[in-house]
């Protein structure tokens, strides 16, 4: 089955509107991109979209939450499970920027890391 998607690239300010043709779950063509990054983005986004997750989590003993993020983008369909795991974190002081707060969040193989220090 052949399918066509229109995707706007977010890799640079140009914002190319690309036409992606997918056949049996495989990208067969990408048109209207002005650079290689657009082609790569369209192929990924049309078949398995990925997103960075940024959030804050409560820390016992601190009135201030810790900001955190995934070390790499995760599949878009795993964001809800990721956020649920963030909500259930049992964090305690001290936390240093870069500390791994949760390994393999939502079975993605990607770690959650602190983006600020709380002592």
The answer to whether residue 40 sits within a structural domain is: yes
Same domain, 93 and 63: yes
Same domain, 64 and 110: yes
What per-residue confidence (pLDDT) applies to 45? Answer: 95
Same domain, 86 and 101: yes
What per-residue confidence (pLDDT) applies to 77? Answer: 97
Does the pLDDT of residue 116 top 90, yes or no?
yes
Question: pLDDT class for 1, splitting at 50, 70, 90?
Answer: confident
Same domain, 60 and 108: yes
The answer to whether residue 38 sits within a structural domain is: yes
Burial of 63: CB neighbours in 10 Å, binned 0-12, 13-18, 19+: exposed
Q: Which domain holds residue 27?
A: 2-47
What per-residue confidence (pLDDT) applies to 32? Answer: 96
Pairing verdict, β 26-31 and 59-60: unpaired
d(CA 9, CA 7): 6
Chain mean pLDDT for the chain: 96
* Residue 61: DSSP 8-state: T
d(CA 3, CA 25): 9
Q: pTM of the prediction?
A: 0.84
pLDDT over 70 percentage in the chain: 100
What per-residue confidence (pLDDT) applies to 2? Answer: 92
Q: Are the C-beta atoms of 90 and 60 separated by less than 8 Å?
A: yes
Same domain, 59 and 106: yes
Q: Domain containing 109 — which CATH number?
A: 3.10.530.10
The answer to whether residue 28 sits within a structural domain is: yes
d(CA 71, CA 79): 14
Does the pLDDT of residue 31 top 90, yes or no?
yes
Same domain, 21 and 40: yes
Same domain, 81 and 30: no
Q: Are the C-beta atoms of 70 and 37 separated by less than 8 Å?
A: no
pLDDT digits (tens, 9 = 90+) for 33-80: 999 999 999 999 999 999 999 999 999 999 999 999 999 999 999 999
Looking at the structure of the chain, the number of domains it has is: 2
Same domain, 22 and 73: no
Same domain, 31 and 79: no
């Amino acid at each position: 089955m052949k399918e066509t998607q229109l995707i706007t690239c977010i890799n640079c300010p140009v914002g190319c509107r690309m036409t992606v043709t997918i056949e049996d779950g495989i990208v067969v063509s990408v048109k209207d991109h002005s650079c290689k990054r657009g082609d790569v983005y369209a192929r990924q986004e049309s078949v398995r979209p990925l997103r960075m997750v940024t959030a804050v989590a409560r820390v016992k003993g601190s009135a201030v939450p810790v900001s955190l993020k995934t070390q790499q983008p995760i599949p878009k369909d795993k964001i809800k499970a990721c956020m649920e795991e963030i909500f259930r974190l049992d964090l305690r002081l001290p936390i240093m920027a870069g500390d791994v707060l949760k390994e393999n969040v939502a079975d993605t193989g990607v770690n959650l890391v602190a983006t600020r220090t709380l002592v």
